[in-house]
């Protein structure tokens, strides 16, 4: 987690290695990646994608609506801390009974989203799992990669 | 269906005794105290007509209370614009005016982008299907269940659900802001003990207080009471899609306002 060698700036294997938890469209037929500028105007794109994936997965209408709200909330809080002229990357994976979403931005701040906020409360209520992480950007890039990861499963009906 | 049974009667109710009041009302100056008094009385006395017309449009995906408000607005317009000297009785003038107001609400004011009528209607039928299926299934339906229920394709359900996201639900608040002399709010507002519990300890209270009663209630039920949107829809008496839109709007409004982080302990029970 910590980066004790940051002053030496190695070719940061850790930061460029694919994260097994992140949906990867290159290797996963169920993964979708959307890359937009980290500005509020682009959030409807993220909402539309998650809504569409959830509808096609035939999730119930409550879950579809909650996922749209959750993606909107997660992306909004990341956009607020994103560096100027930087991308917001959304990665979606729609498995049979689970929809996973990861959003990340590059931020000048090392502190990620705080979990004692109203926004986090909203995210927790809308999803089954939500977590955030921060790591150094690496690859000679400045800043920190801040990520919010969330997932929500299909409602189980008897 | 909405034609007056006789010149001054509507659904068995006779409004003939009010006719002379219109003559008096039309000749009054707006600054006259009697003007406001009469206007109030004329609107109140004719309210059953607005309520009846609103009922005729229910089950089309809009909340009954919203429709009653829109119909009442139509009634107010009718009272204000009616000219008793033209030899037409008030009912013949008011009924089409109120119907027109409700229709316009459906057609125009609710949609932020131009959505084809066909899609709007599909949206409304899907909205009604969600409500029916939620009742029978005891949970929110999936798009495929809605498709089967309505006998349309999954693709059509997707389009209808998508169209719902272009629907604006705040039109009523805006419409009604001009007519604040009419105490419509009394019928809508009600105390909410669940909300009190949160408010007592919430640093977010000032922000919640800026919301209207219904938005606040929906927010609390979803995020502090863990109710599903479908359950909230049933409790509040509006459609699930309407709940969804209100939540999206409220969250976005709160995001714009929250500058300071709210400590978690002030929010938890």
Q: What is the pLDDT of residues A29-86, one digit of tens each?
A: 889 999 999 998 899 899 999 999 999 999 999 999 999 999 999 999 999 999 999 9
Categorise residue B142: left if φ over 0, alpha if ψ from -120 to 50, beta otherwise. beta
Facing B247 at nearest CB: one of A56, A63, A69: A69
Has residue B136 got a pLDDT over 70?
yes
Percent of chain B surpassing pLDDT 90: 20
pLDDT, position B228: 94
- Window 20-59 of A, Cβ < 8 Å to B: 47-48, 51-52, 55-56, 58-59
Categorise residue B138: left if φ over 0, alpha if ψ from -120 to 50, beta otherwise. left
d(CA B73, CA A141): 59
Burial of residue A114, with CB atoms counted within 10 A of its CB: 0-12 exposed, 13-18 middle, 19 or more buried: middle
Facing A116 at nearest CB: one of B144, B162, B261: B261
Residues B10-69: tens digit of each pLDDT? 777 778 888 889 989 988 888 888 988 999 999 999 999 999 888 877 655 556 777 888
**Residue B112: which pLDDT band, with cuts at 50, 70 and 90?**
low
- Buried b or exposed e, range B19-56, using 16+ CB within 10 angstroms: eebbeebeeeeeeeeeeeebbeebbeebeebbebbbee
pLDDT, position B115: 62
Report the 10 Å Cβ neighbour count for A27.
8
**Residue B100: which pLDDT band, with cuts at 50, 70 and 90?**
confident
A128 contact B CB<8A: no
Has residue A103 got a pLDDT over 90?
yes
B162 contact A CB<8A: yes
**Residue B231: which pLDDT band, with cuts at 50, 70 and 90?**
very high
Handedness of CA B251, A133, A104, A87 (dihedral sign): positive
Interface test with B, best of A118, A124, A127, A130 (most B CBs within 10 A): A118
Cβ within 8 Å of residue B93, ≥6 positions away: B78, B82
d(CA A61, CA B164): 12
Residues B52-96: tens digit of each pLDDT? 888 877 655 556 777 888 899 889 989 988 988 888 889 888 988
Interface test with A, best of B143, B207, B233, B257 (most A CBs within 10 A): B143
Angle at B198 between CA B194 and CA B204, to 5 degrees: 140
Has residue B196 got a pLDDT over 60?
no
d(CA B254, CA B247): 10
Q: Do A55 and B143 touch (CB under 8 A)?
A: yes
d(CA B26, CA B87): 13
A60 contact B CB<8A: yes
Chain A residue with minimum CA distance to B244: A65
pLDDT, position B178: 29
pLDDT, position A9: 39
Contact criterion met (CB below 8 Å) for A23 and A91: yes
Closest by Cα among A119, A101, A58 to B161: A58
Q: What is the mean pLDDT of residues B229-236?
A: 89
Chain A nearest-CA distance from B176, in A, is 28
Q: Which residue has the tokens 């009528």?
A: B117
Q: How far is CA A97 from CA A48, A54, A90, B72, B235, in A?
A: 20, 10, 20, 46, 28
Chain A nearest-CA distance from B193, in A, is 21
d(CA B93, CA B82): 7
B142 contact A CB<8A: yes
- Buried b or exposed e, range B177-202, using 16+ CB within 10 angstroms: eeeeebebeeeeeeebeebeebeeeb
pLDDT, position B125: 87
Judging contacts by C-beta atoms under 8 Å, the chain A residues touching residue B141 are 60-61
Chain B nearest-CA distance from A146, in A, is 18
Judging contacts by C-beta atoms under 8 Å, the chain B residues touching residue A61 are 130, 140-143, 146, 161, 229-230, 240-241
**Residue A87: which pLDDT band, with cuts at 50, 70 and 90?**
very high
A81 contact B CB<8A: no
Judging contacts by C-beta atoms under 8 Å, the chain B residues touching residue A122 are 223, 251
**Residue B181: which pLDDT band, with cuts at 50, 70 and 90?**
very low
Interface test with A, best of B162, B227, B229 (most A CBs within 10 A): B229
Handedness of CA B184, B188, B190, B195 (dihedral sign): negative
Chain A nearest-CA distance from B198, in A, is 12
Q: Model-level pTM?
A: 0.63
Facing B223 at nearest CB: one of A60, A116, A121: A121
More confident residue, A20 or B259: A20
Q: What is the mean pLDDT of residues B144-155?
A: 96
pLDDT, position A47: 93
Q: Do A61 and B162 touch (CB under 8 A)?
A: no
Chain B nearest-CA distance from A67, in A, is 11
Has residue A134 got a pLDDT over 50?
yes
């Amino acid at each position: 987690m910590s980066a004790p060698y940051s002053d030496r700036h190695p070719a940061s294997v850790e930061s460029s290695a694919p994260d097994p938890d992140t949906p990867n469209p290159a290797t996963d037929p169920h993964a979708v990646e959307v890359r937009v500028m980290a500005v509020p105007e682009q959030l409807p794109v993220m909402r539309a994608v998650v809504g569409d994936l959830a509808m096609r997965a035939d999730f119930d209408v409550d879950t579809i609506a909650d996922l749209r709200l959750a993606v909107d909330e997660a992306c909004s809080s990341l956009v607020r801390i994103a560096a100027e002229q930087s991308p917001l990357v959304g990665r979606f994976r729609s498995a049979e009974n689970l929809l996973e979403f990861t959003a990340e931005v590059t931020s000048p701040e090392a502190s990620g989203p705080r979990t004692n906020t109203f926004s986090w409360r909203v995210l927790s209520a809308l999803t089954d799992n939500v977590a955030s992480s921060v790591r150094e950007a690496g690859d000679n890039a400045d800043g920190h990669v801040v990520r919010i990861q969330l997932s929500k499963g299909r409602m189980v009906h008897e | 269906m909405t034609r007056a049974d006789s010149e001054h009667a509507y659904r068995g109710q006779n409004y003939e005794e009010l006719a002379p009041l219109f003559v008096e009302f039309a000749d009054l100056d707006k600054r006259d105290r009697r003007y406001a008094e009469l206007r109030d009385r004329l609107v109140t006395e004719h309210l059953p007509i607005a309520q009846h017309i609103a009922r005729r449009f229910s089950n089309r995906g809009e909340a009954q209370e919203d429709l009653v408000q829109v119909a009442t607005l139509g009634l107010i317009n009718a009272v204000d614009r009616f000219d008793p000297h033209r030899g037409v009785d008030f009912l013949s003038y008011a009924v089409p005016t109120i119907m027109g107001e409700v229709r316009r609400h459906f057609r125009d004011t609710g949609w932020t982008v131009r959505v084809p009528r066909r899609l709007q209607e599909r949206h409304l039928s899907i909205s009604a299907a969600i409500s029916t299926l939620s009742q029978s299934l005891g949970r929110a339906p999936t798009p495929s269940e809605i498709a089967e229920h309505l006998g349309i394709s999954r693709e059509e359900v997707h389009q209808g659900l998508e169209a719902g996201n272009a629907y604006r639900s705040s039109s009523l608040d805006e419409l009604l802001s001009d007519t604040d002399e009419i105490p419509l709010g009394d019928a809508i507002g009600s105390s909410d003990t669940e909300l009190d519990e949160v408010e007592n300890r919430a640093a977010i209270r000032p922000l919640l207080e800026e919301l209207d009663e219904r938005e606040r209630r929906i927010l609390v039920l979803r995020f502090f009471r863990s109710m599903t949107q479908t359950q909230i829809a049933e409790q509040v008496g509006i459609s699930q899609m309407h709940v969804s839109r209100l939540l999206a709007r409220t969250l976005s409004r709160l995001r714009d306002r929250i500058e300071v982080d709210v400590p978690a302990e002030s929010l938890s029970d």
